[in-house]
Chains A and B, each alone.
Chain A
Amino acid sequence: MFRRLLQLLNREQKSKSVAKSRLQLILVQDRTGIDEEIMESLQIELTEVLSKYFILEREQVEVELEREQDSMALVANIPVLGTKVRHPVEA
Chain B
Amino acid sequence: MGKVIVVTSGKGGVGKSTSTANLGTALAVLGKKVAVVDADVGLRNLDVIMGLESRVVYTSMDVLEGVCELEQALVKDRRTKDLYLLAASQKNNKSDIQPEQMKKLCLELKETHDYVLVDSPAGIEQGFQNAAAGADDALVVTTPEVAAVRDADRIIGLLQNMAINNLVLIINRLSPEMVKTGDMMEPTDIIDILSIDLIGVIPEDKEIVVSTNRGMPTTYNHKSDAGQAYKRIAQRLEGEDIPIPEFKSGGFAGWVGKLFKG
A-side residues, CB < 8 A to B, are 2, 5-6, 9-10, 14-17, 19-20, 22-24, 26-27, 30-31, 69-70
The smallest C-beta distance from B1 to any residue of chain A, in angstroms, reads 32
Please indicate the chain A residues that have their CB under 8 angstroms from the CB of B154 in the complex: 30
The smallest C-beta distance from B41 to any residue of chain A, in angstroms, reads 28
**With A and B bound together, what is the CA distance between A2 and B260 in angstroms?**
7
Contact B149 A23 (CB under 8 A): yes
The number of A-B residue pairs with CB atoms under 8 Å apart is 54
Contact B257 A30 (CB under 8 A): no
Indicate whether A22 sits within 8 Å of B153 (C-beta atoms), given known contacts A27-B193, A69-B195: no
Assign chain B's interface to a size class.
20 to 34
Q: What is the chain B residue whose CB lies nearest that of A18?
A: B146
Indicate whether A22 sits within 8 Å of B146 (C-beta atoms), given known contacts A16-B185, A27-B193, A70-B195: yes
Please indicate the chain A residues that have their CB under 8 angstroms from the CB of B185 in the complex: 16, 19-20
Indicate whether A23 sits within 8 Å of B146 (C-beta atoms), given known contacts A2-B260, A16-B185: yes
Q: What is the chain A residue whose CB lies nearest that of B262?
A: A2
Contact A10 B253 (CB under 8 A): yes
The smallest C-beta distance from B154 to any residue of chain A, in angstroms, reads 7
**With A and B bound together, what is the CA distance between A31 and B153 in angstroms?**
9
The smallest C-beta distance from A26 to any residue of chain B, in angstroms, reads 6
Indicate whether A16 sits within 8 Å of B189 (C-beta atoms), given known contacts A10-B257, A23-B146: yes
